[in-house]
Structure 1
Amino acid sequence: MSKPMKFSIIQVGAWLLIGIILLLVFNQEGVVEQWGDNQNKTLLVASLFIFGFSSDFILRLIEKSKRHGFSRDERDQLIQSKAMNFGFILTLIYVFLVTITLYVKYEDAGLMPVGYMWFVAYSTIVIANLSMGIPSICYYKKQGY
């Protein structure tokens, strides 16, 4: 297993964990409707994203370090490019479907709980990372890494 594939697996694992916890937090009764009043959940979700971005940052530092002998060749760049293209399209589809669903659900009410806006923002970050990381792993597997 190549180092770029290992890094992709670590990144997907971290963002998958964040996504699961995010869903658990937002699926609790009354969280969306009272999002601004619940400081503990707001801090929990913020700390999840600090963890996610910190893990990405640490992986990039290790990747750039000469000490670990990490190198990407043309095949790695092609795999990352394909995964990024796929992830971009999947993220666009996700945002479109979620926002249209929320619009249809709250069209008659005229208002939408602000917690859903936070959910869309947070979940888009998770989906963007997963929709690039998972195809990257699949492409590495397909290439025999």
Structure 2
Amino acid sequence: MRNRPVDSVMVNVVLRPLVASLQLMAAYVLVHGHYSPGGGFQSGVLLAAAVFLLDFVPRTERAGFLTVSERGAAILASAGVLGAAVVGLVPMAYGAPFLDYAALPFGMEPAATRSLGILLFEVGITFAVMGVILSIFHSLNAEDLEP
């Protein structure tokens, strides 16, 4: 049985700011992951939770919020894994070890290149985790599941 939007003003009033807060918190956790616990996995889970909560809001009330279909979730997961792999493998093309962010060809100071490389890798992880969790959600939410 698919989730149906809840036809309640109270739920809509509470969920919309909650979803926006979750998305903002996910961005903070992703960016602040260099300096404290957090990063790609946690921000991916938060973004997936935000998209999941939007299933309870009617489509007419979802303006401005991200929704992801089953196919979109698979593409998101694949793109995230590909992005993280590319960021990790590019240094090997320049003779450096896997995930040596200082070898990325950005033309910046090594410290700045490392920071940018870590952020790009974590963005890939965020997309991968978000896509996998949403794929699991869509699979569990499918109508053709037998009891």
What is the TM-score with the length of structure 2 in the denominator?
0.34
What is the TM-score with the length of structure 1 in the denominator?
0.35
Q: Greater relative contact order: 1 or 2 (C-alpha under 8 angstroms, separation 6 or more)?
A: 1
- Larger helix proportion, structure 1 or 2? 1
